[in-house]
Amino acid sequence: MDNLNLQKTVFITGATSGIGEQTAIEFAKHGDKVIITGRRRERLEILKAKIQEDFKGEVLAIHMDVRNYNEVKDVISKLPEDFKVIDILINNAGLALGFVPFQEGLVEDWDIMIDTNFKGLLYVTSCIVPIMIEAGKGHIINIGSIAGREVLPNGNVYCATKHAVDGFTKGLRHDLIKYGIKVTQVAPGATETEFSIVRFKGDKERADNVYKGFKPLIAEDIANIIYYISTLPPHVNIADILILPTSQSGIQNFHRVI
């Protein structure tokens, strides 16, 4: 980064794979300090080493489960001095589990999705907002989904959690406007990461079929857009953005060439 005064500290949840991992790399590549968090300790350490080796980046890796409020609160309250002032929060942690009609769904899957996709986002945000209010600036970027704007059969609870993220993001923007804090939602369409493998509980063949016949987005596409949004002047906020692959026009509508 040419001007070190522009260096920012970026807190990223769900950084152990996919969009979160690529976003951490993107910010580190541009000289920003990154705090990477996630439940998979080994993956965090691998990403930390990569950032340090490839970009000589300043990185703090924190093993943390966003579903545990006390853990989140403790971690954020004990951030080291040089990582304490957080300029950008990227609420990325999220997942889908199962793809069945509601009446066939599993309560444990619902709980994990609600606790991760929505309650975890609330927990992290609630601990970081006071830091931003004290600083008089900041940017909160919530990773939503096209599933927060439309619904599809068998997507019931997952779609509900992403609709909750959409509503919360809009409400938070109202609440924080007087503090000069930006609030953005980034809502990707079909993006090929581990998402479908997790949704189908390790069934790779079924996951691969989701992206058959068209070119989906990849994590790097979303990371590039997140970074761009974060670089705009203080008076400019992209409040909401839906990103689709060219071959997708709706949550279930794809042009596939098979």
Query: Active site includes 227?
Result: no
Residue 71: Cβ within 10 Å count? 15
| Catalytic residue (choose from 158, 211, 227, 228) | 158
Catalytic site residues?
Answer: 158
